[in-house]
Structure 1
């Protein structure tokens, strides 16, 4: 029976099992294979040794009466039962080894984008006035070894037949301090965003990337007006197409280009408005999500809060195991002159056109992989040959072992303090080598 996403989300919260390496069950399986005298095609589970070398080492252990596993002695009389052919290379053994190598060959690659906010940077460069920083890693098997095949600043994503790059820009004018995002074709670097500088006001603008897919981006925007005795502040969230990100003026102007964004109705269709109206009504009446549909489109505005039922202000944010749509509910604090928002779940899963592949797996080896770590998130490739367990300190990359029941740790990538996932794009088959080439070019080698 397949397991739904809620099951996996629950399991992501389970405590990891203690201990690593060989389990008791694995020991028993290996001993059973040795005792089966007529069985010559063994599956060795030594991740760090070559297949032929593993057979030779095992034979030495058996013939010498040594211990194969810690605390597990192998009976001496079993050594006499091994004929010379058991440790010699045969056509059957060679074919089995070739099949084993094919089974563990990783045919998936992952382009992963990360964000570190200025407040979480413990280095000397993490000044409070700086913007968030971003980096991209390309994880792939190159020359038979899983590795970080390319890495660099910014967030690189596939967009149509090309790759686009998202970067944070820091600009100071006579009156404004701007930290904003730009997006452009990766082979043509550009700073294309119109600066809308009003000398009569002084603004500090910060934009933060929440999500980047192969068509859409989600952005949090914060503006602080430094005029008067108290600052006035406003925060909002938007979803835009990748191309719209660079079309919008900064700070926001009254022009249509400055307000270009994607609504929930554009993603979910006509039914979105009915859901939004219900959410607005239920929030304003404190009835959760069990209330009836109101007769008209309500925009509650009580106790300094209001719910956006227009579908304009929403975000794509990461929750354990999946990307989710979140609706913004605004609030106003008169004393501090702050307009802010809180996010609440939109009760429909994001469609494939927004998040591409964003699914977990019920494969036994995937569950085994996540039990190895103090994990807070999980990514699984479409081919189910690669799993990335995300912890507070690292990316732990696992592959299935030859039995496809247990997992093998293939790679660990350290994370900086506070780094968060903002993008995860999968490549499979022949696309992997192409992505590696492009990632090395656009992340490490500059531009055309």
Structure 2
């Protein structure tokens, strides 16, 4: 009996102890172990410098207003510029400085005063929602990038730290240009398509020149046979082959992709314009259309003769298609300008509309080169005339501006017959009757002859396509291949 009482007493004590530990009572103190959180960035940080790196929608005034603003990093929140991230999570990556700044911002870290080989990229998020990225340069210096604006923060209390001062040795804000922008501003190239007529055979031949400049250095002029034109689905090559049948020669105009674009499985075969008893010469090649001057031929008295010349503007993807109507190339109002131009020409000749067919007129037009620009020409039975209309739109040519003006360049090069200015206004290409001359354009006003290239007699342009930035390197490699 005594043993049973002892056993009951022990069980009762254990039961009381268990109940006591699990009952909320002021007599039952709760002991909680405090979690220790090791934050990669702690405390208060102050913006003391800003730098514009590239284009930005942020104004200079807004950037100045960021100076002296604080970023607060605590265990339960991160606060900056009036925005709070509660219960933040931090992810830290150690990256190579040169690689990171080049890949993400296209700038050299040295231009920011950052000489560390590695930096930490700290991503702040909450519940898998991104908040911000901060780049930690050292223990006392971090930076933040947003919309072309870089902000530098120093840890409060570290103002006298030499390691910080070495990294922010330029207290005033400045504007730096990203390498991408530099490339765009200081690299430009011209694909210039040319044609010339062989005086012995009377046949036209075509070639393409590649003229480029990189950081004010003109590269040697490159050339290749036929017309090389950049298109949305890759580069195409355009050419003309002669074909002889029934004592007549005619021209086969062809176009073919120079390189296969993985995203375009179609359009990989050569397109050929095969019109019987017709010779053609190329007047203009754009990224989507080709302008031709055609003549029907016939055989008489042991001699090939011509009749019925006409213009045609054809899509490169369908060289056997119908000539594009003038009104569709531009707009309905343009057709009215075509009629006005025709009337002016007829009046000059003292002729009437007579047998001029408006429908034929709408397709009998061309793009050709004169006085440093692409112009529009129409054709009727009485001859060819200028169409009084704005310069060809971007469907036909993307860029066709001159700087300085044609007259200014003509004063410098009196024997000039044609000219082109790069979009970056860093060099000018001039064509004379015998030479192609390349001038550096300093301060956008002064022409300095850099190099010359010999032209064929009577050689003239049928295409001009410009590019800038990183595409200059891409086009150069492609052209060299």
Q: CA RMSD in A?
A: 3.4
- In 2: Cα distance, 1:425 partner to 1:379 partner: 10
User: Partner residue of 1:359?
Assistant: 401
Mapped pair 1:243 → 2:334: no
Match for residue 232 of structure 2 among 160, 163, 169: 160
Tell me the secondary structure at the aligned position of residue 243 of structure 1. coil
1:300 aligns to 2:353 (yes or no): yes
Matched, 1:327 2:406: no
Equivalenced residues, count: 292
List, as ranges, runs of 4+ consecutive aligned residues in structure 1 with deviation greater than 6 Å.
Answer: 305-309
Summarize the Cα distance change of 1:224–1:174 in structure 2 as closer, same or farther, 3 Å threshold. closer
SS, match of residue 293 in structure 2: strand
Is the contact made by 1:323 and 1:350 (CA closer than 8 Å) also made in structure 2? yes
In 1, the alpha carbon distance for the partners of 2:326 and 2:338 equals: 9
Give the equivalent residue in structure 2 for 1:413. Answer: 453
Distance 1:353 1:196, change over 3 A: closer
Answer whether contact 1:106 1:386 (CA < 8 A) is retained. Answer: no
Which has the larger share of helix? 1
Q: Which runs of 5+ in 1 are unaligned?
A: 1-98, 120-125, 198-202, 249-256, 289-298, 332-340, 442-448
Q: Secondary structure at the match of 1:355?
A: coil
The question of whether the paired residues in 2 share the 8 Å contact of 1:142 and 1:149 is answered with: no
Q: Shift in Å at residue 306 of structure 1? A: 6.7
Q: Are 2:438 and 1:397 equivalent residues in the alignment?
A: yes
The SS at the match of 1:311 is: helix
Q: Which runs of 5+ in 2 are unaligned?
A: 1-176, 261-267
**TM-score relative to the length of structure 2:** 0.54
TM-score by length of structure 1 reads: 0.58
Structural mapping, 1:204-223, within 5 Å: 205-223=278-296
Specify the SS of the correspondent of 2:253: strand
Match in the other structure for 1:269: 331
Q: Deviations over 1:320-348 (max 9, x none)?
A: 021011111224xxxxxxxxx42333333
Greater strand content: 2
1 CA distance for matches of 2:365 and 2:410? 33
Q: How does 1:337-348 map to 2 (within 5 A)?
A: 341-348=383-390
Aligned-partner SS, 1:422: strand
Q: Distance in 2 between matches of 1:109 and 1:179?
A: 31
CA pair 378-281 structure 1, distance change in 2 beyond 3 A = closer
The aligned counterpart of 2:308 is: 234
Decide whether aligned partners of structure 1 residues 192 and 173 sit closer, same or farther in structure 2, where only a CA change above 3 A counts: farther
Offset, 1:307: 7.0
Query: Deviation at 1:234?
Result: 1.8
Q: Which of the numbers 102, 109, 113 marks the counterpart of 2:193?
A: 113
> CA distance change for structure 1 residues 192 and 276 in 2, over 3 Å: closer, same or farther?
closer
The secondary structure found in structure 2 opposite 1:433 is helix
Any conservation in 2 of the 1:147–1:411 contact (CA below 8 Å)?
no
Q: 2:208 aligns with which of 111, 121, 136?
A: 136
Deviates more, 1:264-273 or 1:228-237: 228-237
Counterpart CA distance in 1 for 2:358 and 2:302 is: 29
Does structure 1 retain, via aligned residues, the 8 Å contact 2:248–2:298? Answer: no
Counterparts of 2:204 and 2:408 in 1: how far apart (Å)?
33
The answer as to whether partners of 2:252 and 2:274 remain within 8 angstroms in 1 is: no
Q: Which residue of 2 aligns with 1:173?
A: 245
Alignment match, 1:313: 364
1:421–1:280: structure 2 CA closer, same or farther, 3 Å change rule?
closer
Larger C-alpha radius of gyration, 1 or 2? 2
The aligned runs of 1:15-54 (5 Å cut-off) are none
Match of 1:200 in 2: none
